[in-house]
Amino acid sequence: MSDVSTIRIPVWPLIAVTVGLAVSAWLAASNDDLRLSWAGLLLSMVLFGLVLAHRRMAVVAMDDPRFERVRVVPWLMIVLLVVVLLQFPLHAWPIAWELAER
Amino acid sequence: MRPVLRLALAIAAVAGGLVQPGVAVAQSGQAPGANFEPGPVAIDRLAECIATRRQLAVVLLMDESGSLSRTDPEAARVDAAIAVLNALLVLAEAPVDGAPPKVDVLVAGFAADYDAAGEWSALSRQGIDDLAAEVQPFADRDDKMDTDYYHALEGADRALQERVQEIDDQAPKGVCQVVLWFTDGGYLIGQRTKPEEVERYGSEKDYAPGVSLRSKAGATEARDIGRSKLCEPEGLADRLRQRGVFNFAIALRPEPSASDDIDPDDFLEALTTGSGSLEECGDPDSEDLGAYLPADDVGSLPDKFLRIVCEIQGCVTTGSPFVVDGAFGRALITADGAEGGSVILRSPSGEALTVDLGQDQAASIGSTEAVASALGESGSLITLDFDMREDDHLGTWDVELVGPGSGELGGTRTAVYLYSGIAPTIQDDAYFELGVPRSIDVSLVDEYADPLSPLEVEGQLEVSSAVIDPATGERLELEAGPLTDDGTATVTYTAPVDLEVRNLRVAVRVGGTAGGGLPLSPTVRTFAIPVVKDSTIPRVLTDLVTFPPLRQGQEGQADRTESTGAIELLGSDVGDATACITGVDVRDRPPRLGTVSVEERCIEVPRGERVSLPVALSIAELKTGAVAMDLALRLEAEQGGATDEVPVPGAVETFRGVDVPVAILLVILIVASSVLLPLLILWCWNWHAARFRSNDLFFVRRLGLPVRVSDGSVLPADEEGPLLLPPGGGAYLEQYSPRRVEIGLSSADASTPPVVVTPLVHLFALPQAVASWNLGGVVGEHGLARRRRLTKERPRGIISHSLFDTWLFAIDSASPSQDGEVVDAVGDLVLLVDDHPAWEDRAGELLGDASAIARQSSVVKAVDRLHALGDQREEVTPREEGDDEVSNATAAANQAVDEAKERPPEDASPQQRTNVDDYDV
């Protein structure tokens, strides 16, 4: 290629996810109010969507012939994805427990 | 004595006798544990802690270092540890102020690191065998490197903290924590001389990073750092003391290292108590919560622990013959002789009882009941229950061990444990007053709770006491007056005016000497003493209002969301008063518990009378857990109008029925929904993007690539690429819609359906396309996608296959495709490129990509020259390799395009043809 170009997939979504995870963990710890659990669940869904969107961004760039090279941080994405997925049961458990009370 | 039998005797002694406070130990020839000087202060503190909190967590920490094979080859440490378990079991079964304490035990080992042998277990008679089974393997664990005290205590501390947290979550009332560890040496870090040692034990310590243990100097440096971490200000030793952890170290036989410049005995003493004779460890002035128990004879360890328990519950030591006076209610005699031997007991009145060793037997000597249990084939445990209301047991008892014949056995052993029946008590109406000295009377009672005069005890009794703030744990020793002849002593205390609690604990100890001059270790009892602000104000006798449990939604049980407790009040000596419950302050509760409320209620408290104030508690929505609260009690004297607001602690257990399977199912559903919803949104997003953008966006290029037709299937020679069967030649856009593109082939006849390309939504990738065809009777479909692995950096070496630049493949029509025949042929690559401004500049590169693919396939038949967008005709940008080849291919492509122009498909519509012409196919 005459004009080799490299795209670096922005990291800010992953930083946002990391910050969001901290908030989510706090919400999970503060399970005294079910509304916080619902908020945590919603936040986890947003974070999950953010990670997915970030991955899509990377894949699209890879298929984009304008770019010779695509730079991503796949391990961070995978770690965050796993942590985000672990948030779901944390928030879901108090909700389910409350709903299953007789 | 054989260790096992000695152990059995010790266990039996503990298990059989300590249901009453106070024990004395005696043995013929040698007093057990004669070299044992327990840390009396720490033992006293532990006894008080157990009496106050009634919850004990013990980490039994066993040394596993290799030196044990020399210092304790018979593994007496295991016998001792099991004896300790049995001694602790006595604690767990003996009531303290009416209820036995709960004892949790964790068995762990240590050498280079801390290693828990199992889980925390609540000590019980049923479960002690399991704990003993955890201890037993330590008899063979004597081959590890290091004696790392830092890791050992750090691990034990961590385990205690976790357990305390668990207990606090269930019943937040505090836990007495004990680390009880056996070791045979000083703090030793071994040099790693072999690779397997490095692999197993590591080449450095986490507390000494960068210090290699492969050298002797490094091992010594790491040990010094570990010692420093233990003993520095606010180090691990201090932190243990600050957390109130009792630290008892049992040194089997300290073994100084050749390179050790520190006396291990002294270091262990400093580590446990804060200061040894030569050095200090942490704050030497901190509260004394540790004891160092050196043992020249490891076999004496069971006796040591029996004596610790005796210390906790009150005991004396003596020899045989032993004197029983009015202070004792029970004697326990263990005997180990020869098989077929016997024990002869002689009471003060001269009666004799012969007990055969190794036999079960029951008899009486006067008013004293004697029960003998076999301990192996040559040992016995004899329990003597004295009737303290009689006096025929008072005097000197004699224990004689005889052999199978008639001679006395020399060198064998009997041990006698005497249990005291003395306990302190205080007057019912005792109280303290803020800022005013108040005296309370302490008296003595026997095991039947009958008053006991010191005159009935031939020895000398002493009373001492301390006041403890239950909120802060602060402790203050109190002066106690001498015991009078009627068994009463006076304790005086002035409660500080800024005292927040209205209830203090007073620990009373009774000690001294029993008949015959035997030292009587203290028997400790604690009492809750009310504190009043003013003498005109009633006293609150209840230190904790315990409500009956509340239940909701539990199967087989009626709902109960209201409960009633009571606060006992004693009217002042001055005048009448009023007591009102005004509210409740919840300190701790399970999450999402409903509102906790109490009914406001008042009651008259007449002068000097004892009344009960009912407290009606209700909770709107129950959850499972413990609720701790402070009930706001307002006390108002009618005379003088003095008032006081007293927080009275309350506790209630609440239970809420939950359908657990439903909860689990709901969790699964919620989690599944939460995961699927973002995925659905992503799919919708991709579906929206998966469309051809306009009917102007195509130009078509063709590449001839080698393929192989085999058994009806068409494969590329390089094993990849989508396939499109004949009839080759040019292609043109036949029909367009954003979600469907039909491509006609110029060489096909009118009946040949076009190749249909439709978008394919892919969740985690760019939208792709699927081409389906029916050419020459061969029906096929191929996704124009290629799965790629996401890596940190991907060089783009091949042409992309997305909707932006999709390619198809058409095989030469002349190529046969017969069953079972393998034919090499040449096909055409058709490239569809999005009409995006970005591509205009890159069109040459795209063609270069296509030619690269062709070059990789080694045979280039023809390459379409790109004629991009209107009149802009790009020159092919040669790639770095094979420039000449690409140029040749480009020339061939131009020729092929011209040929294609001359053979327009007959069925193409004018508009379609226009499109195709526009793109110079």
Q: What is the pLDDT of residues B525-568, one digit of tens each?
A: 788 888 888 888 888 888 788 899 899 888 878 888 899 999 98
The model's pLDDT over B226-262, given as tens digits with 9 standing for 90+, comes to 988 888 888 898 888 888 888 888 776 655 554 555 6
Interface test with A, best of B627, B662, B674 (most A CBs within 10 A): B674
> Is B794's Cβ below 8 Å from some Cβ in A?
yes
Nearest-CA distance from A14 to chain B in Å? 15
B258 within 8 A of B230, measured Cβ to Cβ: no
From chain A, the residues in CB contact with B786 under 8 A are none
**How far apart are alpha carbons B88 and B563 in whole angstroms?**
36
Cross-chain Cβ contact A65/B792 below 8 Å: no
Return the residue matching tokens 């939208």.
B767
DSSP three-state, residue B69: helix
The reported pLDDT for the residue numbered B863 is 29
> Is A8's Cβ below 8 Å from some Cβ in B?
no
Instruction: Give the pLDDT mean for B608-619.
Output: 92
The conformation of residue B719, written as its DSSP 8-state character, comes to S
**How far apart are alpha carbons B242 and B235 in whole angstroms?**
10
Cross-chain Cβ contact B765/A63 below 8 Å: yes
The reported pLDDT for the residue numbered B853 is 46
**Strand-pair partners of B65:** B144
Is the confidence at residue B40, as pLDDT, over 70? no
**How far apart are alpha carbons B473 and B194 in whole angstroms?**
51
Interface test with A, best of B658, B677, B796 (most A CBs within 10 A): B796
Nearest to A41 among B674, B764, B800 (CB): B674
Nearest-CA distance from A98 to chain B in Å? 8
B91 within 8 A of B99, measured Cβ to Cβ: no
> Is A4's Cβ below 8 Å from some Cβ in B?
no
The reported pLDDT for the residue numbered B809 is 45
Instruction: Give the pLDDT mean for B458-475.
Output: 80
pTM exceeding 0.95: no
> Is B659's Cβ below 8 Å from some Cβ in A?
yes
Percent of chain B scoring above 70 in pLDDT:
62
- Burial of B79-106, coded b for 16+ CB within 10 Å and e otherwise, reads bbbbbbbbbbbbbbbbebeeeebbbbbb
Interface test with A, best of B589, B627, B670 (most A CBs within 10 A): B670
Instruction: Give the pLDDT mean for B723-747.
Output: 62
> Is A70's Cβ below 8 Å from some Cβ in B?
yes
The reported pLDDT for the residue numbered B393 is 85
Integer-rounded Cα Rg, in Å, for chain A is: 18
> Is B660's Cβ below 8 Å from some Cβ in A?
yes
From chain A, the residues in CB contact with B845 under 8 A are 1-2, 65
Nearest-CA distance from B658 to chain A in Å? 4
Instruction: Give the pLDDT mean for B106-126.
Output: 87
Nearest-CA distance from A18 to chain B in Å? 18
Q: How confident is the model at residue B521 (pLDDT cuts 50, 70, 90)?
A: low
Is the confidence at residue B760, as pLDDT, over 80? no
Percent of chain B scoring above 90 in pLDDT:
10
Lowest-pLDDT range of A65-74, B101-110, B378-387:
A65-74
Is the confidence at residue B204, as pLDDT, over 90? no
Nearest to A48 among B678, B764, B838 (CB): B678
Interface test with B, best of A2, A35, A68, A101 (most B CBs within 10 A): A101
Nearest-CA distance from A88 to chain B in Å? 6
Q: How far is it between the farthest Cα atoms of chain A?
A: 71
Mean residue pLDDT of chain B comes to 70
Cross-chain Cβ contact A88/B800 below 8 Å: no
The reported pLDDT for the residue numbered B766 is 57
Highest averaged pLDDT of the listed ranges B456-465, B680-689, B845-854 = B680-689
Closest chain A CA to residue B590? A32
Instruction: Give the pLDDT mean for B710-716.
Output: 49
Cα A100 to Cα B180, B553, B555, distances in angstroms = 44, 11, 14
Residues of chain A short of pLDDT 70, as ranges, are 1-4, 63-68
From chain B, the residues in CB contact with A52 under 8 A are 678-679, 682, 764
From chain A, the residues in CB contact with B839 under 8 A are 65
The model's pLDDT over B352-377, given as tens digits with 9 standing for 90+, comes to 998 888 777 889 898 898 877 665 56
> Is B558's Cβ below 8 Å from some Cβ in A?
no
Task: For the beta carbon of residue A25, count every other beta carbon within 10 angstroms.
Answer: 15
Instruction: Give the pLDDT mean for B145-162.
Output: 90
Instruction: Give Cβ neighbours of residue B96 (< 8 Å, ≥ 6 apart).
Output: B50, B51, B54
Is the confidence at residue B622, as pLDDT, over 80? yes
Is the confidence at residue B617, as pLDDT, over 90? yes
Return the residue matching tokens 């042929």.
B825
Highest averaged pLDDT of the listed ranges B195-209, B398-412, B743-757 = B195-209
Highest averaged pLDDT of the listed ranges A83-92, B40-49, B381-390 = A83-92
Instruction: Give Cβ neighbours of residue B1 (< 8 Å, ≥ 6 apart).
Output: B9, B299, B336, B412, B413
B619 within 8 A of B595, measured Cβ to Cβ: yes
Q: How confident is the model at residue B586 (pLDDT cuts 50, 70, 90)?
A: very high
| Of B614 and B446, the one with more pLDDT | B614
Q: How confident is the model at residue B632 (pLDDT cuts 50, 70, 90)?
A: very high
DSSP B22-44: B----BSSS-TTTT----HHHHH
Cα B162 to Cα A89, B152, B524, distances in angstroms = 23, 16, 29
The reported pLDDT for the residue numbered A78 is 86
Cross-chain Cβ contact B766/A63 below 8 Å: yes
Closest chain B CA to residue A85? B675
Interface test with A, best of B666, B681, B840 (most A CBs within 10 A): B666
The model's pLDDT over B411-455, given as tens digits with 9 standing for 90+, comes to 456 777 777 677 788 887 788 888 889 889 888 887 667 777 777
Is the confidence at residue B640, as pLDDT, over 80? yes
Is the confidence at residue B881, as pLDDT, over 70? no
Nearest to A101 among B656, B671, B842 (CB): B656
Is the confidence at residue B623, as pLDDT, over 50? yes
From chain A, the residues in CB contact with B681 under 8 A are 49
- Give the strands of the sheet with B475-478, arranged side by side: B432-433, B519-532, B503-513, B460-468, B475-478
> Is B910's Cβ below 8 Å from some Cβ in A?
no
Cα B504 to Cα B309, B476, B631, distances in angstroms = 26, 11, 17
Q: How confident is the model at residue B870 (pLDDT cuts 50, 70, 90)?
A: very low
**How far apart are alpha carbons B917 and B331 in whole angstroms?**
117
Cross-chain Cβ contact A97/B658 below 8 Å: yes
- Burial of B422-454, coded b for 16+ CB within 10 Å and e otherwise, reads bbbbbeeebbbbbeeebebebbbbbbeeeebbb
| Tokens, residue B733 | 């856009």
> Is A9's Cβ below 8 Å from some Cβ in B?
no
> Is B194's Cβ below 8 Å from some Cβ in A?
no
- The reply to whether ipTM tops 0.95 is no
The reported pLDDT for the residue numbered B746 is 61
From chain B, the residues in CB contact with A60 under 8 A are 765-766
Cross-chain Cβ contact B794/A99 below 8 Å: no
The model's pLDDT over B291-332, given as tens digits with 9 standing for 90+, comes to 777 665 444 454 555 555 555 555 565 667 888 877 777 777
Interface test with A, best of B794, B800, B840 (most A CBs within 10 A): B794
Instruction: Give Cβ neighbours of residue B216 (< 8 Å, ≥ 6 apart).
Output: B191, B259
Q: How confident is the model at residue B71 (pLDDT cuts 50, 70, 90)?
A: confident
Which B positions 827-846 lie with beta carbon below 8 A of chain A? 838-839, 842, 845-846
B509 within 8 A of B522, measured Cβ to Cβ: yes
Closest residue by Cα to residue B111 from B189, B215, B213, B209: B189
Cross-chain Cβ contact B658/A44 below 8 Å: no
Closest chain B CA to residue A87? B671
Cross-chain Cβ contact B554/A102 below 8 Å: yes
| Of B359 and B776, the one with more pLDDT | B359
Is the confidence at residue B892, as pLDDT, over 50? no
Cα B221 to Cα B119, B204, B294, distances in angstroms = 34, 11, 27
Cross-chain Cβ contact A68/B796 below 8 Å: yes
Is the confidence at residue B900, as pLDDT, over 60? no
Nearest to A63 among B592, B660, B800 (CB): B800
Nearest-CA distance from A25 to chain B in Å? 16
From chain A, the residues in CB contact with B877 under 8 A are 2
Which B positions 671-690 lie with beta carbon below 8 A of chain A? 671, 674-675, 677-679, 681-682, 685-686
Which A positions 77-96 lie with beta carbon below 8 A of chain B? 85, 88-89, 92-96
Is the confidence at residue B410, as pLDDT, over 80? no
Number of Cβ pairs closer than 8 Å across A and B? Answer: 137
